[in-house]
Structure 1
Amino acid sequence: MVSGLLVPARDPGARGSRNARGKAAPAMSPATVLAGVPEWWAQRASAAGLSGKWLDVSQAVDTALPKEVATPFDVPEQLGTAEQLGERYVASLGTKDRSDHGRHYTPQPLAAELWAMTKRALGWKRPRPLPGLVRDPACGAGALLLPVLRDHLGASARTDPQLVLAGLPNAIAGIDNDPNAVWLANVVLAAELLPLLAVTPRARRRPLPALTEVGDGLAANDSRCLVSLMNPPYGRVKLNPDERARFARHLYGHANLYGLFMASGIESLSPDGVLAALVPTSFLAGRYFEAQRGVLATEAPLRSVGFVNDRAGVFDGVLQETCLVTFSPKKTRTVTITSVNGTVSPIAKVATPKRAGPWILPRRADDAPAAAAALAMPLTLASAGWKATTGPLVWNRRASDISALHAAGAVPILWAADIDGGVVHQDPARDGQRYLSLRVKSDQQVMVLREPAVVVQRTTAPEQPRRLVAAELTDSVLTQWGGMVVAENHVNVLRPTSSNPAVTRTTLTRLLATRTLDRVMRSMSGSVAVSAYELESLPLPGRDILASWEGLSGDALEAAVRFVYRTDLP
């Protein structure tokens, strides 16, 4: 089924990083936005039929006013929804603040779709009051909690309003370390409760509950929740020894905030609960999330994925896909995959990932057969006898040693542009930066490549038709280049780990050039970068099949690979 879902471009906004917020200097300050909230509240309370003290947000909601709320100003008529008010606040924080602390705004359609996916993961087929707690540990201005609250209120329409209001703190909760965002979240959520307050007898009316609080969303929480719902902050973070011990099972190398929030969310889930999150797709394939994927595959398997193709306003400036994901401790055999791009469209159902390696999840319906076949492949590029490494030269760190002249002791640099077209060549655009002078003592051991290899572009442009761009660095090409080269950091180098790999260098180069393998790689990674880790994880058939492909090329090889991976590519 296709449902309507418009994903508008938005500025990203407040999400609680673990550091104090920096000072921003946008056109409208957060204080100015917050100062308009009392008037915004009064308009909504009056429209609900309330009067007197209930028009004063400081009396109507059980939460203290921020000091930034000074003299109120008139609210423009077009600022008519809770989402628009939250949007205005988070846009006011400034680009540097958002970038430094990984704060990002959740567009309303994505919030609604993530909640819809959550309900499906819970097995709900019709609206129902919340039977347990839904908690957002990085709630910002409450965007993710709004659709939850609205659904709960709609399903509770026949329940005594006083009972509904009294039970809300046990049904919905949010945490964030931005006090202003928390106050705003409490106000916009309370605004949804105004109709209930209006039908409550005057003598029994009480201030509306504050459903979110200031705090550390990563703090250990003894109370279990039915749903952990989040669009967490992202970015690397240093952990103290106690935190590292707590999250050790989920970590490989440095810690990323959104991975920690997901780990914390799993900790606090009830046995029949659901973790629902909006995260970059690097989580699904990256090496740094391998340990966490292993924990999830065992303890809370993946239930559904929605790939967000229009990324504007979700993770600004990030050259990778974003996805909506749900996990649950309840056992499942399949993952439902959808595409979110103006509409929500079905892609495929595939087997639930059971391993810690990159999860193969097709981004297009016609990639589903190849993804299913790849999951059953007995080998990977690594087990077939090949090792991938990233080119050691980070050019801007050695800029003074790079020149256009072939001076004594200089070695030619192999750039990613030199691989375009599947043949190693010297791209004229790099002639001005062609040679590296080996001045550092370790250069001969670290920098220089003296043997034939398969070279692959590590970073491709979003508009490129292929993710896998490979070429064979043969003996003859090496000789033409002077017997040695230095691979730049945007080049991956594939070398055999034994004298008899399952696939030869020439055939491997041709395999990587097939459309089928390119589509399989796209099912593994949403990023424009192709990491050495992902290359080594590329699924391959057994040795007998690989041997049968030796000597094939062009259309004959394309057809043979299509047959084995069960694809329908023309």
Structure 2
Amino acid sequence: MTLKNKINKSISPIHVLLSRIKEDISKKIMHDNSAFILYHKKMIDLTINNEKLIEGELRINFINETSYFVFLCYLYSGYIRYKFNKLLPTGYLAKKLDMDMFYSWYELTDELKAEMLKLINVNLINSISVEYFSGFYESLLDKTEKKRLGQFYTPKEIVDLIVYEAKVDFDEIGMHRKIIDPACGAGVFLTCIIKKMQEKYSGLDLIKYVHTNLFGNDINPFAVVLTKLNLTFSLIVHIRGEKELSTFLEEFCHFPNILLRNTLVVTEEKKYDVIIGNPPYFKTTNSNELSFYSEIIYGQPNVYSLFLYWAFRHVSTNGMVSFIIPQSFKSGLYFMKLREILSKLELVSLINFKSRKKIFKDVEQAVVILTIKNSKRSKNDVNVISKVDNENKETTSFQTSMDNIIMDKRYNYFIFIPSTDGILGLIEKIYNSSANLKENGEYLFGTGAFVWNQHKDLLIEQKTSDVIPIVYAGYIEKYNFNKKDIYNEKIGKKQFALNNDRLKTMISTGQKLIVQRTSTFEDLQRIKACLFKDDFIMNNSKYLLENHINFLYRKSDKSQAIETNVLKFYLGIVNSRLLNVIFSVKNGNTQVSSSELNLLPIATSQQDAIIEAVNRLEGNITKALIDSLDEIIYENYFLSNFEIDIVRNYRR
């Protein structure tokens, strides 16, 4: 049974009551909506690019959160009554948990209160745990809200790994080290810290440490409440007697360092010894609010990269940063400046997850646990671990020099995260003995200029005398141009565009090497390229390349045709297993960007043989001929039999 099902089963008796409470809240805010106005204003203040906030959706969230808050306060009070035989007003606890008064304004009617007290029983109280409260948070957020916040429940196994990698060892660090989760959600990382501390500390010593040294920020007020509850129930089991309980409730249970705060936009000089967590993943737009991050912003930033930069700037000397983040930071231009900063620090470990689908529910994102020490780059080896998912399945690990993981400025500080150490020496050899298009030669890859959904008024399905065919990425297969029927009435996608002056600068002509710009992350054949078939060129003097296609062009003149043999040579190179393995190791997302193609290692020792092998594939694309071409590619890069076996046997 899943965690969510367990939670739903355990709270099912109160579902009807919660619905009635929501109805009562709705009626009350119709007469006096001052609490919602306060909530709404705060949410706008906390959110970058708040145009994404919809008042109706916020109102629903507010009502749901308030009803859950009331239930949890009664559960909290019931726990103290059952475990310590102490009666404590629910309103007192509510104000401690909700310092901003978003939810604690609401009081149950006498009738609803009587029903609530009946439902808070021993079985329900005994089910309280970190997973219980975290599951509440997960079940409260619908998919839309999760996407807006970029927040997803972090599995316990991931939390444990990150805390372990961050070297949070309380036998060494004593009671002074400050630890923060800058996007704390329900507080699962902080409660994991407490569990580690329990091995050495207990009672008020433990409580005082947490009160003084554990920090958490979040932009969701209900997440702040749940973090405080998780901390409370991680600590309260260590309280000995009524005196310690009273001290905790009077002095510590408000947790002043757990804040409703947007970490990214608050100016702060404080340094932390350990910064851990699972920051949000979503793209935002550059704005004045993000001026602190101008050093790293290039194009459209992803919020997780801003959190990583924030961590670099707020971690103490020799402090540790450990985040689970998407692998897209490894190679994209958007993250190049961030990688440059990282390249100067000490990379401690990388934990690579092969599966995109088994880490976070509802998220297909290739992720990695990145752990960095804020000290100058050293000669210490990096620990590289590959796991299938968050369980202990098929785990492999090795240690290697940081020089083998992060490339230099020539190659945009690309980061390699291989599944085996054998591939690293091979990659180093190939890059050291090869050139790249960016620095050498006559050619470069660029990206198609036609964005079809920006020109829907010009699109047409039937061919007439005054239309231009559109070449879509879906036509591109490995060594084969396969023009398909892509007509989609619902979204307006069509095969042709009416000839129009505004398309003049987007028109292409002649034979070209074209490459898909998107790929399947799990597939080792990440680069799929082809040439146009002769009949397409004969029947179409001009065409439009959509923006999900990369193409090879002459540096001196984009419009000048490239010799067919040159196109065939590069076709064989980019489609080869060798370069696809290399691309797979360094690329962290589904994109095949022109900038990354331009930095692929290109060798030419077997240029004529490669062209001849590509010629043999025309009209006869077989596995045997492709394998034969791959053998020539291996010879082109002077690979030994041992190195060839590494490439043949490489798996993600």
Taking structure 1 as the reference length, what is the TM-score of the superposition? Answer: 0.83
Q: Name which of 193, 205, 227 aligns with 1:148.
A: 193
Determine which structure has greater relative contact order: mean sequence separation of CA pairs < 8 Å that are 6+ residues apart, divided by chain length: 1
1:393 alignment partner, SS class: coil
**Residue identity in the other structure for 1:277:** F
- Higher helix share goes to which structure? 2
Match of 2:469 in 1: 412
User: How far off its partner does 1:425 sit?
Assistant: 3.5
Match of 2:328 in 1: 282
**Residue identity in the other structure for 1:382:** K
User: How far off its partner does 1:471 sit?
Assistant: 0.5
266-275 vs 97-106, greater mean Cα deviation: 97-106
Match of 2:271 in 1: 224
Q: Name which of 69, 85, 107 aligns with 1:51.
A: 85
Question: C-alpha separation between the residues in 1 aligned to 2:176 and 2:601?
Answer: 43
User: How far off its partner does 1:44 sit?
Assistant: 4.7
Question: C-alpha separation between the residues in 1 aligned to 2:448 and 2:455?
Answer: 14
User: How far off its partner does 1:267 sit?
Assistant: 0.6
Q: Say yes or no: does 1:394 pair with 2:459.
A: no
User: How far off its partner does 1:170 sit?
Assistant: 3.5
Q: Say yes or no: does 1:455 pair with 2:455.
A: no
Q: How does 1:15-26 map to 2 (within 5 A)?
A: 17-18=47-48, 22=54, 23=57, 25=60
Change beyond 3 A, Cα 1:143–1:377:
farther
Change beyond 3 A, Cα 1:343–1:557:
same
Change beyond 3 A, Cα 1:152–1:273:
same
Match of 1:3 in 2: none
User: How far off its partner does 1:228 sit?
Assistant: 1.3
**Residue identity in the other structure for 2:545:** A
Say whether the 8 Å CA contact 1:250–1:289 is kept in structure 2: yes
Say whether the 8 Å CA contact 1:360–1:375 is kept in structure 2: no
CA deviation map 1:287-331 (0-9, x unaligned): 1111111122124546323336244673845x5412221122233
Unaligned runs of 5+ in 1: 1-5
Taking structure 2 as the reference length, what is the TM-score of the superposition? Answer: 0.73
Match of 2:541 in 1: 483
Q: Name which of 232, 239, 242 aligns with 1:197.
A: 239
**Residue identity in the other structure for 2:273:** L
Question: C-alpha separation between the residues in 1 aligned to 2:174 and 2:80?
Answer: 24
Match of 1:338 in 2: 385
Q: Say yes or no: does 1:353 pair with 2:403.
A: no
User: How far off its partner does 1:486 sit?
Assistant: 1.4
Q: Name which of 274, 285, 293 aligns with 1:247.
A: 293
User: How far off its partner does 1:227 sit?
Assistant: 1.2
256-265 vs 492-501, greater mean Cα deviation: 492-501
Q: Say yes or no: does 1:31 pair with 2:66.
A: yes
Say whether the 8 Å CA contact 1:332–1:352 is kept in structure 2: no
Match of 2:552 in 1: 494
Q: How does 1:68-83 map to 2 (within 5 A)?
A: 68=103, 70-71=107-108, 73=116, 74=119, 77=124, 80-83=128-131
Say whether the 8 Å CA contact 2:331–2:586 is kept in structure 1: yes
Question: C-alpha separation between the residues in 1 aligned to 2:311 and 2:367?
Answer: 19
**Residue identity in the other structure for 1:414:** V
Say whether the 8 Å CA contact 1:309–1:339 is kept in structure 2: no
1:139 alignment partner, SS class: coil
Q: Name which of 443, 460, 465 aligns with 2:503.
A: 443
Unaligned runs of 5+ in 2: 6-42, 615-625
Q: Say yes or no: does 1:512 pair with 2:568.
A: no
Question: C-alpha separation between the residues in 1 aligned to 2:128 and 2:289?
Answer: 46
User: How far off its partner does 1:268 sit?
Assistant: 0.8
Question: C-alpha separation between the residues in 2 aligned to 1:269 and 1:225?
Answer: 5
Match of 1:434 in 2: 495
CA deviation map 1:237-288 (0-9, x unaligned): 45554742x3222111233322222111111111111111122221222211
Change beyond 3 A, Cα 1:302–1:179:
same
**Residue identity in the other structure for 2:297:** L
**Residue identity in the other structure for 1:235:** F
User: How far off its partner does 1:562 sit?
Assistant: 4.3
Question: C-alpha separation between the residues in 2 aligned to 1:43 and 1:196?
Answer: 18
CA deviation map 1:344-380 (0-9, x unaligned): 4225545241434432222567755655545645433
Q: Say yes or no: does 1:467 pair with 2:538.
A: no
Match of 1:267 in 2: 313
CA deviation map 1:418-466 (0-9, x unaligned): 2224222422456993322221x242222x1114321111123467662
User: How far off its partner does 1:112 sit?
Assistant: 1.9
31-40 vs 61-70, greater mean Cα deviation: 61-70
Q: Say yes or no: does 1:557 pair with 2:629.
A: yes
Q: Name which of 598, 601, 607 aligns with 1:536.
A: 598
Question: C-alpha separation between the residues in 2 aligned to 1:199 and 1:308?
Answer: 49
Q: Name which of 432, 438, 452 aligns with 1:382.
A: 438
Larger radius of gyration: 2
User: How far off its partner does 1:192 sit?
Assistant: 0.7
1:328 alignment partner, SS class: strand
Question: C-alpha separation between the residues in 2 aligned to 1:353 and 1:465?
Answer: 21
**Residue identity in the other structure for 2:496:** Y
Question: C-alpha separation between the residues in 2 aligned to 1:515 and 1:261?
Answer: 36
Say whether the 8 Å CA contact 2:286–2:300 is kept in structure 1: no
Question: C-alpha separation between the residues in 2 aligned to 1:368 and 1:32?
Answer: 55
**Residue identity in the other structure for 2:505:** Q
Question: C-alpha separation between the residues in 2 aligned to 1:506 and 1:535?
Answer: 16
Count of residue pairs brought into register by the alignment: 547
Q: Name which of 334, 341, 355 aligns with 1:295.
A: 341
CA deviation map 1:150-205 (0-9, x unaligned): 11222335xxx333322223431111232222122111112111133225855973
Question: C-alpha separation between the residues in 1 aligned to 2:384 and 2:628?
Answer: 32
1:255 alignment partner, SS class: coil
171-180 vs 197-206, greater mean Cα deviation: 197-206
Q: Say yes or no: does 1:185 pair with 2:185.
A: no
2:396 alignment partner, SS class: strand
Change beyond 3 A, Cα 1:483–1:320:
farther
Question: C-alpha separation between the residues in 2 aligned to 1:375 and 1:200?
Answer: 68
Q: How does 1:166-181 map to 2 (within 5 A)?
A: 166-181=208-223
User: How far off its partner does 1:146 sit?
Assistant: 1.7
User: How far off its partner does 1:212 sit?
Assistant: 0.9
Say whether the 8 Å CA contact 1:174–1:213 is kept in structure 2: yes
Match of 2:28 in 1: none
Question: C-alpha separation between the residues in 2 aligned to 1:203 and 1:428?
Answer: 71
Question: C-alpha separation between the residues in 1 aligned to 2:385 and 2:89?
Answer: 43
1:262 alignment partner, SS class: helix
Q: How does 1:36-115 map to 2 (within 5 A)?
A: 36-42=71-77, 44-45=79-80, 49-53=83-87, 58-59=92-93, 63-64=97-98, 66-68=101-103, 70-71=107-108, 73=116, 74=119, 77=124, 80-115=128-163
Question: C-alpha separation between the residues in 2 aligned to 1:362 and 1:512?
Answer: 20
Question: C-alpha separation between the residues in 1 aligned to 2:538 and 2:204?
Answer: 83
**Residue identity in the other structure for 1:494:** L
**Residue identity in the other structure for 1:379:** A
401-410 vs 371-380, greater mean Cα deviation: 371-380
User: How far off its partner does 1:510 sit?
Assistant: 1.1
